[in-house]
Structure 1
Amino acid sequence: MTTPLTVALVTPLTGPDAAQGLAGLRGVTLWARDERLPLPWDEVSLTAYDAYPDSAAAMRAAVAAGPDALLGPYGHRAALAACASTDRVVFNTGAPSTRFVRQAFPNVVNIAAATSTWPRGVLAAVRAADRRARKVVLLASGDTAVEITSVTKAAAVAQSFEVASHVFPPGKAALAATRLPPGDILIVHAGPDDELAAANILLRRPWRAAAFSTAVSAQATASLGDLREQLLAPGSWMPESTQPTATGPTAREFTADFTALHGVAPTETAAWAYVTGLILGRAIRYCGGVQDASVLAAARGIDTTTLLGRFRLDEATGLQVGHQIPIVQWQAGASRTVWPRESARAPFAHPRLFTSRPGMASRTSPGTPTPTQPRTPPASRTLPTT
């Protein structure tokens, strides 16, 4: 006798995050259609619960229905409330945060690397190309300001940088930017409007490298003009990648299947939701059951690659450490992946060119070299990625 695997997805289907939640639902729907599980399961039966406006209530309703597996919501606040409301195992579909450490949430399976970890890649790329850079200046705002500050400081210590961090209230970016001290590397993590306001002030200074969390978007950075050149940012996934995987389809195959089923191209949120299903399926095949303790133990032992890269959980923290957030750099009007090296699509251009005032062409910093300005010709150096 066969039976369906019952899966509950708790995610916003209405409200301000509905677009992301619905994208996740589409991703899980595709996985449910294609997953092939061993007997006794002959299909995946998926039920979605609207996490808006009360994600904890939605999670309780999902748990009451007694599903075999639970997938958690998009959005940090929604996920924190939802996961805190149950002791069932929850696969963290759309809230990559260091707050979901095993010590605080022992039953959460983290699928993606925490969003706040992206400065690690920036600092690693800079250090690989530049041994002289010393001071990192961090400007942060929003719900994850404390988290991004903590992660950046830890990464800086590991790469022999010193950090000056500054947290500001949303909407006060321009004022905070004018008070920011000089340094070698600039990292800004805030909302799109605040980052744009800060960029128009800070990118006229001669930073050796500058990174903004929302700068991967062409629309968000279009008004910066030449100031955008050589900016770094946390990247997204690559839908056309044909890189082989150990679990599930390649990114290109997933993109084609998703588009054929839903009539729209997949977003990164949809891709992560789909990968959540892949990891759940692999854990069930490994342990041969759906009991929470067995599935959790199986997930903790998985080390594989999917269309979004490597999956591996840290034994001590339960955070995702296999996946690395790619770093992109704007080069000649296009964002190109430059880190990690094995995923790079272009060499990392360093040190950064900058524009000192509106209307001027990009150039390197003039004047006598200082300890943070090595004696090099006034043109960017391009280092190989291998």
Structure 2
Amino acid sequence: MAAPYRNRLRLGACLSLSGKYARFGGQARLALDIWRSTTDAVDLLIEDDGSDPERVDALLPRLSAECDLLLGPYSTLLMRRAGTIAAAMGRLIWNHGGSGDDVETAHPGHVVSVLTPASRYAEPFVRHLATQQDPRPLRIVQGKGSFARQVAGGAERLAHALGLRTVSSPTPEAWDLFCAGSFEDDVRAVTYARSLPMPPRSVCAVAAGVREFGEAVGDPVGVYGVGQWFPGGGDRVELSMAEDDFLTAYRERAGSLPDYPAVQAVAAAAIATHCARQAGSTARAELWSAATALETTTLFGAFKVDPRTGAQVGHQTAFIRWDAEGPAITEGP
């Protein structure tokens, strides 16, 4: 059970500092350390979950006993397990790492998410296509796993709602392409599609939302990407660090810019501590009430949750387009 409220809060997190998610867990740890350095009212306790659901099982109850606030792990797989554990313990957990629709809505009252749900990932690209004067058939390539299935399903539903026709294979007429899979799946799909005699007119991939995509495909110019966050979004920050301040501090420590998992973790930590102070409590019900009443912006973007489910409804995925100088936030071509 959460400890009585105190001015100096203890924030605990399971992060993957080893295993297959270590790159993102390491970024989240560094980001949280930078954020903590801006306040003298928070102590951090971070445990390595090893990218292993069974270690989450063991670590989260221990963190719960020692900490006032709990941050979830990175990845839909691990966060799915963490949400179940938090609900069983009667705790609230702040989800910065799992965008699966089922993860965000599985335990109302126990999970608050900062991430755009997977089913809404493709919205910027599909809405962009719908504004074109000569809309073309849209082919949606889906990878393995529940995340890809939810992203692709959301893209298809929105396309139909906006009057766009979807197809299951390349066509002899002009067509558009959206890919939702693993990084490697998306790179293969984009590379193949662009090599066809009739390549797609517009291409968008989840993988194109990260900088490594440019090296992987060789010539990314013109490709669109979607992701949870990308530098330069330009939202006005109402809560905690400004984007420029955070990026400067991160680059000084790491020698490079962060990926979205770092920014997601900072947003969740800032919102969690803000809600605890607003409520004057770290009890689950009071935190839930404060979170569902909150509408604000952080360096990650907008925050507003559905008070019935805890799913994120305010945050929008970043929409970028690659040009000769690299990827950048865009509103269209």
TM-score, normalized by the shorter chain, greater than 0.5: yes
Q: What pairs up with 1:101-250 in 2 under 5 angstroms? A: 101-128=104-131, 130-143=132-145, 144-164=147-167, 180-181=170-171, 184-203=175-194, 204=196, 205-222=198-215, 224-225=217-218, 228-235=220-227, 237-239=229-231, 243-250=235-242
Secondary structure at the aligned position of 1:113 is classed as coil
Show CA shifts across 1:342-364 (max 9, x none). Answer: xxxxxx32xxxxxxxxxxxxxxx
The residue identity in structure 2 corresponding to 1:98 is D
Partner Cα separation in structure 1 for residue 258 and residue 148 of structure 2: 29
Q: What pairs up with 1:1-386 in 2 under 5 angstroms? A: 4-35=8-39, 43-52=41-50, 53=52, 54=54, 55-63=56-64, 65-87=65-87, 88-128=91-131, 130-143=132-145, 144-164=147-167, 180-181=170-171, 184-203=175-194, 204=196, 205-222=198-215, 224-225=217-218, 228-235=220-227, 237-239=229-231, 243-260=235-252, 265-339=257-331, 348-349=332-333
Show CA shifts across 1:28-64 (max 9, x none). Answer: 223333236xxxxxx312211222232222212222x
> What is the RMSD computed on CA atoms of the aligned residues?
2.6
Given that 1:110 and 1:320 are in contact with CA atoms closer than 8 Å, whether structure 2 keeps it comes out as: yes
1:327 is displaced (CA, Å) by: 1.1
Secondary structure at the aligned position of 1:78 is classed as helix
Given that 1:196 and 1:221 are in contact with CA atoms closer than 8 Å, whether structure 2 keeps it comes out as: no
Secondary structure at the aligned position of 2:315 is classed as coil
Given that 1:13 and 1:50 are in contact with CA atoms closer than 8 Å, whether structure 2 keeps it comes out as: yes
Partner Cα separation in structure 2 for residue 303 and residue 77 of structure 1: 28
The residue identity in structure 2 corresponding to 1:11 is L
Larger Rg: 1
Secondary structure at the aligned position of 2:20 is classed as coil
Secondary structure at the aligned position of 2:277 is classed as helix
The residue identity in structure 2 corresponding to 1:136 is L
1:99 is displaced (CA, Å) by: 1.5
The structure showing larger relative contact order (alpha-carbon pairs under 8 Å, at least 6 residues apart) is 2
Partner Cα separation in structure 1 for residue 216 and residue 13 of structure 2: 39
Secondary structure at the aligned position of 1:85 is classed as helix
Given that 2:108 and 2:309 are in contact with CA atoms closer than 8 Å, whether structure 1 keeps it comes out as: no
Between 1:89-98 and 1:259-268, the stretch displaced more is: 259-268
The residue identity in structure 2 corresponding to 1:84 is T
1:299 is displaced (CA, Å) by: 0.7
Given that 1:241 and 1:252 are in contact with CA atoms closer than 8 Å, whether structure 2 keeps it comes out as: no
1:269 is displaced (CA, Å) by: 1.5
Partner Cα separation in structure 1 for residue 152 and residue 184 of structure 2: 20
The residue identity in structure 1 corresponding to 2:19 is G
5+ residue gaps, structure 2: none
Partner Cα separation in structure 1 for residue 155 and residue 204 of structure 2: 12
1:271 is displaced (CA, Å) by: 1.4
Give the aligned partner of residue 170 of structure 1.
Answer: none
1:72 is displaced (CA, Å) by: 0.2
Partner Cα separation in structure 2 for residue 22 and residue 250 of structure 1: 21
Secondary structure at the aligned position of 1:327 is classed as strand
1:127 is displaced (CA, Å) by: 1.6
Given that 2:235 and 2:301 are in contact with CA atoms closer than 8 Å, whether structure 1 keeps it comes out as: no
Show CA shifts across 1:349-381 (max 9, x none). Answer: 2xxxxxxxxxxxxxxxxxxxxxxxxxxxxxxxx
Partner Cα separation in structure 2 for residue 327 and residue 155 of structure 1: 16
The structure with more helix, counted as a fraction of residues: 2
Show CA shifts across 1:234-276 (max 9, x none). Answer: 1464546765311122100112234456666443211111111
The residue identity in structure 1 corresponding to 2:213 is A
Given that 1:238 and 1:251 are in contact with CA atoms closer than 8 Å, whether structure 2 keeps it comes out as: no
5+ residue gaps, structure 1: 37-42, 166-178, 340-347, 350-386
Partner Cα separation in structure 1 for residue 255 and residue 322 of structure 2: 30
Between 1:94-103 and 1:286-295, the stretch displaced more is: 94-103
Given that 2:92 and 2:288 are in contact with CA atoms closer than 8 Å, whether structure 1 keeps it comes out as: yes
TM-score (norm 1): 0.74
